[in-house]
């Protein structure tokens, strides 16, 4: 079982600010499932995504060279095209909202809002909102178990956390990532 550490959303934000998106993968049959691969091996799988910049999104409608099936919805094609434009873009800011969304702003000012209410499985950082009165499951207890819950508690792989801390110390010079605790 992978070693997991509990961190808070402030620490998660600091970590993400020192990463770069290496790749995006979208399920071939639809634009509903995404996989975002960051530097250091951090993988985030998510289901719903929002682009607040409708005007920018519409610019991709007629010029989107993306690997989707024929007959795909034009809006979905535009979303995938915009996603692909964010490859290798450094992250300028990232935070978790009170409604459990992850908001990522890139250095080129593009912004993604990821809906984290949907169960996220098989990735280093999983987010969900627990049912009232339910105890959150042990991290990675099973294939579909959730390794993270709100409000404020995130589980992250130890190996990735070590990598992220080293990036933070190199990038910012202050290395202030707080102390993760169980």
At 179 the pLDDT is: 43
Query: Which of the four pLDDT bands, split at 50, 70 and 90, describes residue 146?
Result: very low
Reply yes or no on whether the pLDDT at 5 is more than 70. Answer: no
Segment holding 35, helix H or strand E? strand 34-38
Sorting pLDDT into bands at 50, 70 and 90, what band is 140? Answer: very low
Residue 91 confidence (pLDDT): 78
Mapped onto helix, strand or coil, the DSSP state of residue 169 is helix
Neighbours of 136 (CB within 10 A): 16
| pLDDT of 106 | 79
4 versus 102: the higher-pLDDT residue is: 102
Mean pLDDT is lowest, of 17-21, 52-56, 145-149, for 145-149
Indicate if the pLDDT at residue 112 is higher than 70: yes
> Is the per-residue pLDDT at 20 higher than 60?
yes
**What are the Cα distances from residue 112, in Å, to 19, 123, 126, 134, 162?**
15, 19, 17, 30, 26
Phi and psi of 138, rounded to 5°? -65, 145
Mean pLDDT value of segment 130-138: 43
Q: Where are the alpha helices (DSSP H) in 23-142?
A: 54-58, 74-84
3-class secondary structure, 68: coil
More confident residue, 103 or 153: 103
What integer pLDDT is reported at residue 149 of this predicted model? Answer: 34
pLDDT at 164 over 60: yes
């Amino acid at each position: 079982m992978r070693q997991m550490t509990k961190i808070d959303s402030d620490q998660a934000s600091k970590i993400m600010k020192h990463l770069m998106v290496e790749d995006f993968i979208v399920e071939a049959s639809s634009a509903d499932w995404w996989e975002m691969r960051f530097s250091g091996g951090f993988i985030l799988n998510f289901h719903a995504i929002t682009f607040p910049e409708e005007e920018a999104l519409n610019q991709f409608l007629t010029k989107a060279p993306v690997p989707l099936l024929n007959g795909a919805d034009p809006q979905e094609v535009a979303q995938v095209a915009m996603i692909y434009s964010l490859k290798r873009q450094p992250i300028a800011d990232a935070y978790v909202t009170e409604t459990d969304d992850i908001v990522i702003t890139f250095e080129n000012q593009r912004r993604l809002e990821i809906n984290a209410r949907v169960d996220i499985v098989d990735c280093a950082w999983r987010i969900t909102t627990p049912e009232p009165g339910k105890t959150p499951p042990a991290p990675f207890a099973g294939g579909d178990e959730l390794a993270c819950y709100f409000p404020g508690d995130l589980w992250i792989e130890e190996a990735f956390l070590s990598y992220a801390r080293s990036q933070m110390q190199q990038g910012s010079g202050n290395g202030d990532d707080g102390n993760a605790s169980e």
